[in-house]
Amino acid sequence: MLRAACRSTVANGERAVWIDTAGTIVGAFWENGPYLVQPKSRQDALKGAEELLRCGGFALVVLDGTEPEGTEMVRLTRAVREGGGAFVAITPNPSLAKLRMESKIIPHSYRWTRGPFDDPVEVQEATIRVRARAAGWNAHADITVPVTPHDVRLSLEPGLADRRGLPR
Amino acid sequence: MFVCLWSPVWRTVADSLAELSPALLTVAPRVVTEERRGGLVWVDARGLDAEHIAHSALEVLRGIGLSNVRVGVGETPIVAEVIAGTGNGEPGTEAPRGVTVPGSQFPVPADSRFPIPDSRQSLGTLPVSVLEPDPALATLLDGIGVETCGELAALEGESVEVRLGAEGVRLWKLARGEDDRLIFTPMPRELPHASLEWSDYTLTDTERLVFSVNALLGTVCEKLMERGSLSREMTLDLALANGATLTNAVRSGRATASRKTWLRLVRTLLERMVLPAGVVGLTLRAATVVTDVGQQGDLFDRGFATAAATEAALASLAEEQGDVVVVPENTAHPLVERRTKWVERPGTGDGRRATGRKRAPSGGLSTQDEPPEGFRIFPVARRPSPVPGSSSPVSLVPSPDSSTLTLYLLPTPRAIEARTEERRDHVLPTGYRDGGAWYGILSAAGPDRVSGERWGEAYAREYFRCIVDDGGMVWLYHDARADGWYLHGWWD
């Protein structure tokens, strides 16, 4: 959903940046539009986040893979206030956050397409329970979202054209 | 003050350009020639001693054999031009004040001066014909009894406009000594540049060259900022020890005077350059300079106002951390972790957005739309209160339709211990231990078998998409060659 927020930000004519410290973003599933920053260390991630927040050019900054602590969070909060953008940190320690959100996929909510022997083949969608909390407010919602099918390539050698299935 | 030179013996304007201008440039900063009236030579005396310059110009011209030259000095071009052009022997003309005609009927006294004439008085007694009116207009003026410039200048502007039209108004203004012609175009200012030379040694090391260029950039960027300009292109000349000079153009996507941005671009250039010889000198010039005002922005582009700040931030990021702003270049490799090569995002540092030019969100909700029931996320910090129920809007609300569970990968697949059960032609994971904790697998889809690389690092994997009892969906694979289980990624 954060990635959807980034896309929505860009579609609205503003800039969004995703700071991927752990390098978990899969290139094949990344859509151009938001900026993607892959810092080499935790410190670089925090410094980059602060700079991007403070410049005021980004409406949304997402920090993934780095959990700011203590004074780091205070510093980032000041940068947010200075730049006027939105900052989302994916962390279990959301101190100083105006809005805290947690989400969890409901285990038995997956909907599968099944094969001829009733075995699961492809996940179609899943339901996420999202809980949001702010000062004096607490709410939750269940959202059903599709699952991006992953692309398993079975070509024996990379670079070779896969002509299987073509009429001879 | 304008000094105008005219002579009936000048043959062509080309002669004036070829012969007169270099000579006159020894006494005046700027000289311009004009074809009208058989060739006029204008000498720029604004801010200088016009009389002295006029005398010097005459002496210079006399020195190259031109004695029959007339000179006029005036506050406006028309006054100087008329003064220089009249008194040419035509019947009915008189020698106006301020006119000297060396070697002619108006000889220059030894202590001659060029009294600066009042424009109206100087033209007042001159016939209208000195202004070279259109023949039809001249006839009209003759018909209404206007013979001198003074008589024309005395008329009311409105009546001149009504009776004589636009051409009459132009002539009326000239008769009043009003002339806004741009005889001398504005002087282009010298573009900022800086250079450095050394003779005791030669440089081939990129870092040392960048160090020297950094010093030059400091000067050039400071000059740019002093004059409120930005540079879109700079030229770096490398003087080599073998006498050759390598000229390289460095371009920025957006005009900037940021030293950091230019240093980053120059560093990139130097790192890619192969030097045929050592460098003994550097010259850095701002080749294309634009003014730092009047950039017309797209009123509907919300990011335009912050483009410069974004550019500076991204340039600073790139300067400190390298190419960390990246985009994927995907190939068709069967292994998803080897499929992507991350490359520097083009245009990083210019603040532009590569995509997302759409004005209307595709599938997303605008800030005016009502979010769906139970779906409010991502408050914008600059809006005062994100708390629902308040009057402030909650924006950046993505549509649930645009949200998907997407695969994320661990940088390196992590070895796990797996519990499995036998199937007809494979084993199916039913649980795994990662980080000391066991996770039960509720359902698993697979295997998706991938193998390859006959000549390189061979691989043979059986991938499973597994629903874990905590609700997550993970991507496990069994390495058929090493007979081990690995956690490769998850959906989030």
Do A3 and A59 belong to one domain? yes
Question: What is the C-alpha to C-alpha distance for residues B361 and A146, in angstroms, rounded to an integer?
Answer: 19
Which of A145, A150, A154 shows the shortest C-beta gap to B334?
A: A154
Q: Is-contact A155 A162, C-beta < 8 A?
A: yes
CA dihedral B129, B132, B138, B142 (to 10 degrees): -10
Do A33 and A90 belong to one domain? yes
Phi then psi for residue B195, to 5 deg, are -145, 160
Residue ranges in A16-115 assigned as alpha helix (H): 42-55, 70-83
Q: Is-contact B3 B71, C-beta < 8 A?
A: yes
Do A72 and A104 belong to one domain? no
User: Between chains, do A44 and B340 touch, taking CB under 8 Å as contact?
Assistant: no
Least Cα separation, residue B203 to chain A (angstroms): 31
Q: pLDDT (tens digit, 0 to 9) for every residue of chain B, 492 residues total?
A: 888 888 777 655 555 556 777 888 888 888 888 877 777 888 888 888 888 888 888 888 888 777 778 888 888 888 888 888 775 433 333 334 444 333 333 333 334 444 444 544 457 788 888 888 888 888 888 888 888 888 888 888 888 888 888 888 988 888 888 888 888 888 777 889 999 998 888 888 888 999 999 999 999 999 988 888 888 899 999 999 888 899 999 988 777 888 888 898 898 888 888 888 889 999 999 988 887 665 566 666 667 777 778 888 887 788 778 888 888 888 878 888 888 888 887 766 444 444 433 333 333 333 333 333 333 333 333 333 333 433 333 344 445 457 888 888 888 889 998 888 888 778 889 899 888 888 888 888 878 888 877 777 888 888 888 999 888 899 999 888 888 899 998 888
Question: What is the C-alpha to C-alpha distance for residues B366 and A136, in angstroms, rounded to an integer?
Answer: 26
The tokens describing B278, both together, are: 């050592």
Do A90 and A17 belong to one domain? yes
Phi then psi for residue B344, to 5 deg, are -60, 135
In a domain, A133, yes or no: yes
Question: What is the C-alpha to C-alpha distance for residues A26 and B405, in angstroms, rounded to an integer?
Answer: 13
Residue ending a domain, choose from A97, A113, A130: A97
Q: Is-contact B466 B474, C-beta < 8 A?
A: yes
Q: How far is CA B65 from CA B34, B56, B60, B316, in A?
A: 21, 14, 9, 65
In a domain, A158, yes or no: no
Question: What is the C-alpha to C-alpha distance for residues A53 and B64, in angstroms, rounded to an integer?
Answer: 71
Interface test with A, best of B367, B401, B410, B467 (most A CBs within 10 A): B467
The answer to whether B469 faces chain A, any CB pair under 8 Å, is yes
User: Between chains, do A107 and B313 touch, taking CB under 8 Å as contact?
Assistant: no
Percent of chain A with pLDDT strictly greater than 70:
89
Do A93 and A108 belong to one domain? no
The answer to whether B424 faces chain A, any CB pair under 8 Å, is no
User: Between chains, do A10 and B377 touch, taking CB under 8 Å as contact?
Assistant: no
Question: What pLDDT does B485 receive?
Answer: 92
Which of A15, A35, A120 shows the shortest C-beta gap to B443?
A: A120
* Rg of chain B taking only CA atoms, in angstroms: 40
Do you know the residue count of chain B? 492
- Span A132-143, average pLDDT: 89
Which of A38, A84, A106 shows the shortest C-beta gap to B326?
A: A38
Q: Which residues of chain A have a CB within 8 Å of the CB of B400?
A: 143-145
Least Cα separation, residue A118 to chain B (angstroms): 11
| Peptide bond before residue B447 is cis, with ω within 30 degrees of 0 | yes
Question: What is the C-alpha to C-alpha distance for residues B61 and B57, in angstroms, rounded to an integer?
Answer: 6
Does this model's pTM top 0.90? no
SS3 call for B188: coil
A119: domain range? 98-149
Shortest CA distance from A55: residue in chain B? B309
The answer to whether B404 faces chain A, any CB pair under 8 Å, is yes
Question: What pLDDT does B21 receive?
Answer: 79
Question: What is the C-alpha to C-alpha distance for residues B257 and B228, in angstroms, rounded to an integer?
Answer: 9
For residue A38, pLDDT over 70 is answered with yes
Which of A57, A99, A146 shows the shortest C-beta gap to B404?
A: A146
Do A7 and A79 belong to one domain? yes
Cα of first residue to Cα of last residue in chain B, in angstroms, is: 78
Phi then psi for residue B69, to 5 deg, are -120, 135
Do A27 and A40 belong to one domain? yes
Shortest CA distance from B398: residue in chain A? A5
In a domain, A157, yes or no: no
Which of A22, A142, A155 shows the shortest C-beta gap to B334?
A: A155
User: Between chains, do A3 and B327 touch, taking CB under 8 Å as contact?
Assistant: no
In a domain, A74, yes or no: yes
User: Between chains, do A32 and B407 touch, taking CB under 8 Å as contact?
Assistant: no
Q: Between residues 105 and 144 of chain B, which touch chain A (CB distance below 8 Å)?
A: none
SS3 call for A9: helix
Q: Do β-strands A16-20 and A35-37 pair in parallel, antiparallel, or remain unpaired? A: parallel
Q: Give helix then strand counts, H and E, for chain A.
A: 3, 8
The answer to whether A138 faces chain B, any CB pair under 8 Å, is no
In a domain, A72, yes or no: yes
Question: What pLDDT does B260 receive?
Answer: 84
Domains of chain B and any CATH numbers: 2-175 (no CATH), 195-291 (3.30.1490.100), 360-403 (no CATH), 407-491 (no CATH)
Which of B387, B398, B470 shows the shortest C-beta gap to A8?
A: B398
Do A103 and A93 belong to one domain? no
The answer to whether A8 faces chain B, any CB pair under 8 Å, is yes
Q: How far is CA B37 from CA B8, B11, B58, B301, B374, in A?
A: 9, 12, 19, 54, 85
Question: What pLDDT does B215 receive?
Answer: 92
Question: What pLDDT does B364 receive?
Answer: 33
Would you say the C-alpha torsion A150, A154, A158, A164 has a positive or negative sign?
A: negative
Q: Which residues of chain A have a CB within 8 Å of the CB of B467?
A: 107, 110
Cα of first residue to Cα of last residue in chain A, in angstroms, is: 45
The answer to whether A93 faces chain B, any CB pair under 8 Å, is no
Element spanning B149, H or E:
helix B149-153
Do A89 and A24 belong to one domain? yes
Least Cα separation, residue B393 to chain A (angstroms): 14
Tally the domains of chain A.
2
Q: Which residues of chain A have a CB within 8 Å of the CB of B448?
A: 152
* Rg of chain A taking only CA atoms, in angstroms: 20
Cα atoms found within 13 Å of the Cα of residue A107, Cβ hemisphere only? 11
Residue whose entry in the numeric block shows the structure tokens 């741009």: B182
Q: Which residues of chain B have a CB within 8 Å of the CB of A137?
A: 387-389
Least Cα separation, residue A92 to chain B (angstroms): 16
The answer to whether A102 faces chain B, any CB pair under 8 Å, is no
In a domain, A23, yes or no: yes
Opening angle at CA A104, ends A99 and A110, nearest 5: 145
Question: What is the C-alpha to C-alpha distance for residues A95 and A84, in angstroms, rounded to an integer?
Answer: 19
ipTM: 0.85
Burial class of B217 by CB neighbour count within 10 A (0 to 12, 13 to 18, 19+): buried
Q: Is-contact B120 B79, C-beta < 8 A?
A: no
Do A134 and A91 belong to one domain? no
Residue ending a domain, choose from A53, A75, A97: A97
In a domain, A159, yes or no: no
Sheet holding B70-74, edge to edge: B31-34, B40-44, B2-6, B70-74
Listed in sequence order, the residues at least 6 apart from B429 whose beta carbon sits closer than 8 Å to its beta carbon are B418, B419, B420, B441, B444, B464, B466, B476, B478, B485
Do A9 and A61 belong to one domain? yes
Which of B397, B407, B449 shows the shortest C-beta gap to A29?
A: B407
In a domain, A77, yes or no: yes
Least Cα separation, residue A106 to chain B (angstroms): 5
User: Between chains, do B381 and A13 touch, taking CB under 8 Å as contact?
Assistant: no
Do A23 and A52 belong to one domain? yes
Least Cα separation, residue B363 to chain A (angstroms): 8
Q: Is-contact A139 A131, C-beta < 8 A?
A: yes
Q: What is the CATH number of the domain that holds A51?
A: 3.40.50.300
> Quick one: chain A helix, strand, coil %, rounded to 5?
25, 35, 40
Give the other-Cβ count within 10 Å of A145's Cβ: 19
Confidence of residue A167 (pLDDT cuts 50, 70, 90): low
Which of B331, B381, B470 shows the shortest C-beta gap to A158?
A: B331
The answer to whether A96 faces chain B, any CB pair under 8 Å, is no
Q: Which residues of chain A have a CB within 8 Å of the CB of B306?
A: 15, 55-57
Opening angle at CA B178, ends B175 and B181, nearest 5: 115
